[in-house]
Structure formats: structure tokens, C-alpha cells
């Protein structure tokens, strides 16, 4: 079933190209899109979990802050034992390892009217040991005048709300960029001071820098590929300041504490933006809002995010292109090999054969062409035989035609010593052998027999029938008798000896050349045209008998007329009247009489050639279908 070339090509091309390509293309587009969506979700998830970590730290710091605040209020209400208080602070710090430092700051003079500064500050030293630093309760530092203190104390409420200060540079001991969160210490709803925890900004930046999301979408892509060129921004949108950023294009330290709007790519509606273009690169921003207006924004380079996916799909596209080239190439090759080449071969051979060369065709495969070649071979031989046969038939036909032709009188003038009349006859044969004939001969010195006849049908049968009937008429006429006698005899003979129901229409006349009297009989033949007294041709509607050879016992009648000197008699077959033009219009007797009268004054030969040219111009480029046989006689 799959052996044939046609099937092979059809199956290969339909399945491989249409199915593969379109399905692949569709699948590729869809899956690439879906994969990217999933990857974005995946990145968002990993960023979320990181943000949750930070959020958790904030939460814990805030918890820590509350316990520090509680410690502060207890200290205020109790006997104000510094040592116990310090220990309590240290303990809370131990419980919250996320906190770098922090402490309790009382309002000036609130503990002791003589003492302006009262604070406890704990921090982790280099060995991660928590120590209390009392240097801050100094005139040099003057904490009540620090920005962070003023900011926090101005905003605290008894509900222990958390206030985040703007980042600031701590220039007393750590010399680091800090951000401080604080809450109020209330005793009996009276604000006595604030509790704070500190974050070192550098560590935050470090944390943010560590934020490198992983590509962990599908096993088919390289997993665990870290995105290198991401950057993050931590800020506070409630107070509009930058907490930390690691933007590779900015002086990040200088920007700390500044408005978020100083970040060139920052926008309020960043969460709704698919990607931003920053330094000629596309970044996908992931925005995560956290507690107290703190927001984490991570920008991932689009190219890196989808690198593995794009790579994977570019391989697919390459593969598809490859298939798209390979398959047509293969198809082309196989078409050439299995179809075009054998056809070329056959064509070349056919050309040679048509030039008459004898060539044996050999094609072994594919199957169809092997069969075709052998059929072709057989056909070539058959054609040769047929051609030979036809040539034989054609030559026989042309011999038949020339025999037929040569049996008609064709030397003009036929009777040079007879001056009483002039006669001319012609037969313009059609392509095929026909059955028209004419004849004229003397049966005695005075009587000229004139015959015009048309055998039914065409071809060899008509030609044979014509020869037979022509000879019979001639022989019988020489025995004497009237035209009716002759026709009756010939009719009986033909009816007795033919099986094919053929017949012949005959006009037979015997003219006395001395008197011009014509005795004639018409056996189903066309009306003769005779010149009247005015010298005009007209149809002579004579009495008709039945065709000769049609029915046994047919009787024929004689009639007579006389040709006076100068009068002409024109006889013809239906080849004249039934000549047809391209509109299927017959030449007809009307046109025939017209033509005769056009040439009536010419010689008998002029009349016949004139008629022939009229017929030719009437037919135009339609080829002559029937023999055109005419005879004209004039008495002189």
C-alpha cells in the first residue's frame, strides 16, 4: 500500500510537513508563553519568600522592641536598678538574634531632675557578645537632639505603634549607616521615653544583594541557574525614603534616606508594570509590600530570566528550520529520483521514437514507471505495426482512388473531331474515397450517353459499388435502349448482387448530337440545370424515379428535352449543393444557379472552375467534406 511513489510522497509531505510543523509551531508558541508565565510566578514566589524572611525579621525586631519598651516602663516604675535593667535588655537581645542593637532612651530630666540623659544601649560586639554601652548618655551625643529620636518620639502613641526612622549615619561608636525602629515607653499613659532597635544598613544591603532568585521551573531547563544581574530596593513608602539599594548604576550609600523618587526607574505603580527599560536593558520589577510601609522591589533582567527558556525554544526553532529544510530536500530528491528522472527518460525515448528510432525502454523501478515503460514499449511496437498497417491501407486507398479516378474520362476535349458540342467534367475529390462518378461515351455516331451518379456512403465500399455500377451502366448502354431501360436493368443487377443496401443515384441522358434532343431518366439524382431560351440557367425539375439498387422492380421513366445551339446542360452531385460553411449553412441550389449564371457566358470549363471557386470561397476554411463532381455540356 505504501509502495507507490505517489503514496510515499503524499504521506511524507502531509504527515511530516503539515502535521509536524503546524503542531510544533502551535505547541512551541503556547508552551513558551505558558513556561514564561510559570517562570514569572516562580520568580515571584521566590521573591515573596525572601520578602517574608525580611518581614519576619521586621516582625521579630518589632516584638523585641515591645519587650524593650516594657523593660523600660518596668525600670521607670521600679526601684530603677541599672544592673537588673541592663540584664533584662541583654536577655531580650539574646532572644532576638536579628537585632543588631537597641535600647531605652528616657526623655531628658524625667528620671532625675538633675540628670538630663538617661539611656541604656545594648549592641553586639565583634564577638557577637551583647554589651551595654553607656557612652550615648553623653553631652557629646546628646541623643534628644538626634534626628531619629526626634522623629520617633514625635510620632509614637500609647498603642505601641512602631516608627521607623530615616536611615542616618551613627557617628559615635559604630560609624555605620543605621536605621532605627522605635516605640514609646508609657507609664500610666504618660510618655517617658522610647525604646529602639537598630538595623545596620550595610547588612540589609548584603541581604538584599543575596537575593538571587533561582530558575527552578522545569527539569528540562537547566535548573538552579542564578540570576546574576538583579538588583533590589528596600524602601519605606509611608515616609518615602530609601532604606537600602544595590542598584549597580547608582551611588547607593548616598541615596540612603533620600526620596524613592530619586531612583530613576522607580514609579508608584511599579507593581502594575510588566517591565522597565533601564540602561538599555529590560528588567521585570517584582514589588513586595511589607509591614509599616516597607517595600521590597527586586528587578530581574528579562533576558536572564528567560535565557534558558529562550535558548530551549531557539533550539526548537532551529530544529524546525532544519526539518523544514531537510524534508523538502528529501522530497525534492525523491521526486527527482523516482518521478522526474524516469519521466525525463521516457520523454527522451519518446522523442527518439517519434523520430523513427527503435529503442528498447528499460526502467526497473519504481513500480509504476517499470509498468509504464513496458506499456510504452508495447505501445511503441503496436504503433509501429499500426503505422505499417495504416501505410499499407493508405497506399491501397490511394491506389483505389487513382483507379477510380482514372476510370473517369479525363482527357478534354474527349472527342476532338466532334464539333457539335463541347463537354467538360471534373471531380474534386474529398479527403476520403467517395462514390461520385460521371461518364460520357458514344453508343453510335450520333448518340452520346451522359451519366452523373452518386453512390451512397463513402470509402472503399462506395468506391467498389461505384466501379461496379459504372461498368454496368456503360455495358448496358452499349447494348442499346432508353435510359429507363438501362437503369431498370442496372437496378435489378445491383439489387440481386448487393447485400449492404447500398444504392446509387443516377442521372442518365442520351443526346443526339445532331439534333440536340436528349432522352433522360433520373434515378433519385439531383435536378439538372438547363439553360432556358433567355440563356439563363434554371433547375429542370424532372420526373424522379427511385435510386438505383434500392428496391427490386423499380420502374424508371424517360423524359426528353432539346438543347438548341448555345444552350448548356449542367449536371452535378450533392457535393455542390451540400457544401457547408462554418455556420452550417448549405450552398444550396439557389447559390448554385446564381453561380452558374455568373459564369454562363464562359466556356464549359470556365463554368466548372468558376463554380469550384464560388464553393471554395463559400466554405471558407472548412475543409471539403464530399466529392464535388460536375459536368457541363454545350451544343455548338
Binding site for other proteins (CB under 8 A): 454-458, 501-503, 505, 523-527, 544-547, 550-551, 554, 574, 578, 584, 586, 625-626
DSSP string, 35-95: HHHHHHHHHHHHHHHHHHHHHHHHHHHHHHHHHHHHHHHHHHHTT--HHHHHHHHHHHHHH
Examine residue 366 and say whether the peptide bond preceding it is cis (omega within 30 degrees of 0).
yes
CB of 522 to other proteins, least distance (A): 8
Q: Which residue has the cell 510559570?
A: 38
Q: Which residues pair with 343 in a beta bridge?
A: none
Residue 273 or 551 with smaller CB distance to other proteins? 551
Instruction: Enter the C-alpha cell of residue 231.
Output: 538588583
Residue 57 or 458 with smaller CB distance to other proteins? 458
Residue 133 or 578 with smaller CB distance to other proteins? 578
Contact 89, 75 (CB under 8 A): no
Residue 24 or 546 with smaller CB distance to other proteins? 546
Q: Which residue has the cell 530630666?
A: 109
Residue 405 or 625 with smaller CB distance to other proteins? 625
CB of 462 to other proteins, least distance (A): 9
Residue 112 or 501 with smaller CB distance to other proteins? 501
CB of 528 to other proteins, least distance (A): 11
Number of residues that this document lists for the chain: 636
CB of 335 to other proteins, least distance (A): 44
Contact 276, 285 (CB under 8 A): yes
CB of 604 to other proteins, least distance (A): 24
CB of 527 to other proteins, least distance (A): 7
Short-list 194, 151, 196, 199, CA closest to 174: 199
Distances from the Cα of 498 to the Cα of 369, 465, 485, angstroms: 52, 9, 20
Q: Which residue has the cell 542593637?
A: 101
Residue 557 or 600 with smaller CB distance to other proteins? 557
Q: Which residue has the cell 503539515?
A: 18
Residue 128 or 584 with smaller CB distance to other proteins? 584
Rounded to 10°, the helix 341-354/367-406 angle is 20
Strand (E) or helix (H) holding 342 = helix 341-354
Rounded Cα gap, residues 583 and 621, in angstroms: 12
**Residue 437: Cβ within 10 Å count:** 27
Rounded Cα gap, residues 576 and 554, in angstroms: 27
Residue 457 or 481 with smaller CB distance to other proteins? 457
**Region for 459 from its dihedrals, namely left if φ exceeds 0, alpha if ψ lies in -120 to 50, beta otherwise:** left
CB of 325 to other proteins, least distance (A): 58
CB of 455 to other proteins, least distance (A): 7
CB of 501 to other proteins, least distance (A): 4
Residue 178 or 490 with smaller CB distance to other proteins? 490
CB of 486 to other proteins, least distance (A): 16
Contact 487, 450 (CB under 8 A): no
Amino acid at each position: 500500500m505504501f509502495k507507490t511513489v505517489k503514496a510515499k510522497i503524499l504521506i511524507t509531505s502531509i504527515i511530516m510537513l503539515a502535521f509536524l510543523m503546524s503542531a510544533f509551531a502551535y505547541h512551541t508558541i503556547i508552551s513558551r508563553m505558558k513556561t514564561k508565565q510559570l517562570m514569572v510566578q516562580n520568580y515571584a514566589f521566590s521573591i515573596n519568600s525572601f520578602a517574608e524572611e525580611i518581614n519576619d525579621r521586621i516582625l521579630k525586631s518589632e516584638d523585641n522592641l515591645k519587650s524593650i519598651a516594657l523593660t523600660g516602663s518596668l525600670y521607670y516604675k521600679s526601684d530603677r536598678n541599672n544592673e537588673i535593667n541592663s540584664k533584662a535588655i541583654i536577655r531580650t537581645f539574646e532572644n532576638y538574634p536579628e537585632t543588631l542593637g537597641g535600647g531605652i532612651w528616657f526623655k531628658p530630666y524625667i528620671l532625675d531632675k538633675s540628670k538630663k540623659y538617661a539611656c541604656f544601649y545594648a549592641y553586639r560586639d565583634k564577638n557577637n557578645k551583647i554589651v551595654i554601652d553607656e557612652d550615648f548618655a553623653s553631652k557629646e551625643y546628646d541623643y534628644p537632639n538626634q534626628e531619629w529620636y526626634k522623629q520617633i518620639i514625635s510620632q509614637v502613641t500609647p498603642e505601641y505603634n512602631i516608627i521607623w526612622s530615616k536611615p542616618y549615619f551613627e557617628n559615635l561608636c559604630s560609624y555605620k549607616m543605621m536605621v532605627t525602629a522605635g516605640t514609646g515607653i508609657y507609664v500610666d499613659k504618660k510618655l517617658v521615653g522610647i525604646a529602639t532597635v537598630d538595623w545596620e544598613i550595610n547588612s540589609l544591603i548584603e541581604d538584599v544583594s543575596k537575593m538571587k532568585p533561582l530558575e527552578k521551573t522545569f527539569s528540562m531547563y537547566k535548573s538552579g541557574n542564578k540570576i546574576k544581574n538583579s538588583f533590589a530596593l528596600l524602601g519605606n513608602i509611608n515616609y518615602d525614603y530609601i532604606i537600602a539599594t544595590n542598584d549597580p548604576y547608582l551611588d547607593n550609600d548616598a541615596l540612603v534616606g533620600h526620596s524613592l523618587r530619586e531612583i530613576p526607574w522607580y514609579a508608584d505603580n511599579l507593581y502594575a508594570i510588566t517591565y522597565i527599560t533601564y540602561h538599555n536593558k529590560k528588567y521585570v520589577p517584582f514589588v513586595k509590600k511589607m509591614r509599616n510601609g516597607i517595600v521590597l522591589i527586586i528587578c530581574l533582567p528579562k533576558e536572564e530570566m528567560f535565557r534558558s527558556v529562550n535558548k530551549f525554544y531557539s533550539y526548537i526553532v532551529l530544529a524546525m528550520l532544519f526539518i523544514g529544510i531537510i524534508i523538502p530536500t528529501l522530497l525534492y530528491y525523491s521526486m527527482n529520483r523516482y518521478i522526474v528522472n524516469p519521466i525525463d527518460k521516457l520523454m527522451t525515448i519518446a522523442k527518439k521514437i517519434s523520430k523513427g528510432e527503435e529503442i528498447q525502454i528499460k526502467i526497473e523501478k519504481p513500480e509504476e514507471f517499470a509498468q509504464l515503460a513496458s506499456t510504452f514499449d508495447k505501445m511503441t511496437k503496436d504503433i509501429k505495426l499500426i503505422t505499417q498497417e495504416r501505410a499499407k491501407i493508405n497506399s491501397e486507398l490511394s491506389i483505389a482512388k487513382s483507379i477510380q479516378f482514372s476510370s473517369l474520362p479525363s482527357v478534354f476535349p474527349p472527342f476532338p473531331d466532334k464539333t457539335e458540342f463541347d463537354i467538360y467534367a471534373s471531380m474534386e475529390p474529398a479527403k476520403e474515397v467517395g462514390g461520385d462518378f460521371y461518364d460520357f461515351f458514344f453508343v453510335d455516331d450520333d448518340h452520346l450517353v451522359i451519366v452523373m451518379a452518386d453512390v451512397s456512403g463513402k470509402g472503399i465500399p462506395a468506391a467498389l459499388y461505384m466501379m461496379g455500377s459504372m461498368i454496368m451502366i456503360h455495358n448496358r448502354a452499349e447494348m442499346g435502349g432508353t435510359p429507363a431501360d438501362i437503369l431498370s436493368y442496372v437496378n435489378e443487377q445491383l439489387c440481386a448482387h448487393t447485400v449492404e443496401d447500398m444504392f446509387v443515384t443516377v442521372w442518365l441522358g442520351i443526346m443526339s448530337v445532331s439534333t440536340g434532343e436528349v432522352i433522360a431518366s433520373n434515378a433519385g439524382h439531383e435536378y439538372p440545370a438547363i439553360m432556358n431560351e433567355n440563356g439563363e440557367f434554371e433547375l429542370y425539375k424532372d420526373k424522379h424515379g427511385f435510386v438505383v439498387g434500392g428496391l427490386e422492380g423499380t420502374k424508371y421513366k424517360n423524359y426528353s428535352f432539346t438543347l438548341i445551339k448555345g444552350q448548356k446542360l449542367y449536371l452535378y452531385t450533392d457535393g455542390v449543393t451540400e457544401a457547408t460553411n462554418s455556420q452550417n449553412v448549405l450552398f444550396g441550389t439557389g447559390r448554385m444557379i446564381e453561380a452558374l449564371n455568373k459564369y454562363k457566358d464562359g466556356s464549359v470549363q470556365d463554368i466548372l472552375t468558376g463554380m469550384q471557386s464560388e464553393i471554395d470561397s463559400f466554405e471558407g476554411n472548412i475543409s471539403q467534406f464530399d466529392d464535388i463532381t460536375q459536368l457541363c455540356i454545350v451544343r455548338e
